[in-house]
Amino acid sequence: MNATCEGCHAEIAFEWRESLHAQAHTDPVYQRALAIEPLPFCQGCHAPEANPHEPVPEAAAALGVACVTCHVLGDDLVGGGHERSSTFGLAPSSRAPHPVVRDGRLGATSACAGCHEFEFPDRAARARPELMQSTVSEHARSLERETACADCHMPKVAGNGGHRSHRFAGGRDENLVRGAVSVMASRTAPSTLRVSLAPRRLGHAFPTGDLFRRVEVSAEVVGVEWQVLASDRHYLARHWERDPKSPFGVVLRTAVLDDRPLDGPVDVDLDLGERAAGLPIGWRVAYQRVEHPRSDDESDSAVEGEIEFLAGPSEVNQSGANHEEATDHGVGSGFGGVRGRTDTRTSDAARCPPCERGVRSEPPAESGAGGKRCRPGFTLPRHRRNPDGGATLRGR
């Protein structure tokens, strides 16, 4: 039946085929996670057209979350009911070969809730339930609670009936991610850098979705030979700890802190120690999709991918006194193109080639004779451990 939908709604089908909904079951990241925990619970959302208690047939795997998943309810073909002018991607003169039931609930936040908010599947082993994903609850607490999910993640497409995009832009869309928050950095003391993140028309916490997604805020003190003298980092995320009462063979995780930006700015103070006095600080902010933690140390995680918001230097003046800078990053607002300024962002052409996108295949050797590190303002390697302890975070 899904092929029949695609035959008439070709433009929408093309968008959907490029989306993560279509790849919900075949996505390599999901497949690696499923190999670790092969639960029917997972297949219910990632292969909804298959029986979750049986191996997923190839045809259902290829569909992922398909047209029929959202638009077929019982014997009815359902379309959004709040946009009477939409022709669902057909030419305005075309006549639908079937009746369409318009239902406003399809465009409401509740339509997304089933797969974007749910408890851990180990409820019976817990003293109290714990949300594994909490996007819908976050939306209800956000300043954009009156804005539906589709307004941001399914924007209207010009022409051909004015349908909504079925690419379902999300956490891998650079423009949408970079437009979620604005970033400002200032040196508040000779050894301290404050990085502030403020939501931009954000309808949920940032980041949301998978329980290990996070924003890394990091900084390094760069010496006169471009060597790294000190570093600090902090992760904005849901922070988890293992429940010591976990049954044998089961790991129960409980959220102990949630410091993600949601309804107001969040300040992160990075302490670089006394060696930072009189020297520039290089810093970066990056959204990271963590595949899984390797240990209880948050920095020891398998990072599947990241999107860098901003990287820049915080200089000092001749006397070594504080030099304050503010950087408003507004690239790709997600609500209509590119805007804002990127005054101190390092350009791709200026990046240090061995550290492209903050990744090195091997940790660099410590500085020595002839050894040089990245210049201030270049992308900071994300693999370095923090020798000086954690950051002090203050949310407001």
- The residue behind tokens 């010591």 is 244
Distance CA 346, CA 357 (A): 11
pLDDT in tens, 89-101: 554 455 667 888 8
Cβ–Cβ under 8 Å, residues 164 and 152: no
Q: Which residues are CB-neighbours of 390 under 8 A, at least 6 positions away? A: 232, 234
The predicted pLDDT at position 387 comes to 35
Most confident residue range from 81-95, 117-131, 190-204, 380-394 = 190-204
Coil, helix or strand for 1?
coil
Q: What are phi and psi of 34, to 5 degrees?
A: -65, -35
pTM score: 0.78
Confidence bin at 316 (pLDDT 50/70/90): low
Least-confidence region, from 73-82, 114-123, 199-208, 305-314: 73-82
The C-alpha angle with vertex 33 and arms to 355 and 120, in degrees rounded to 5, equals 120
Question: Has residue 363 got a pLDDT over 60?
Answer: no
DSSP of 185-212, one letter per residue?
A: EEEEETTEEEEEEEESS-SS-SS-SSTT
- The amino acid at 237: A
Cβ–Cβ under 8 Å, residues 174 and 307: yes
Q: Which residues are CB-neighbours of 341 under 8 A, at least 6 positions away? A: 328, 330
User: Quick one: average pLDDT of 305-333?
Assistant: 58
Distances (CA, A) of 255 to 132, 240, 380: 9, 4, 29
* CA–centroid distance for 263 within its chain: 17
Coil, helix or strand for 333?
coil
Coil, helix or strand for 14?
helix
DSSP of 88-138, one letter per residue?
A: TTS-TT---SS--EEEGGGGSTHHHHHHHEEE-TTGGGSSS--EEEEHHHH
The predicted pLDDT at position 273 comes to 95
pLDDT in tens, 294-308: 988 999 999 999 999
- The amino acid at 193: L
The predicted pLDDT at position 330 comes to 40
Question: Has residue 340 got a pLDDT over 70?
Answer: no
261's tokens: 């930006």
Q: What's the mean per-residue pLDDT of the chain? A: 79
User: Quick one: average pLDDT of 206-212?
Assistant: 95
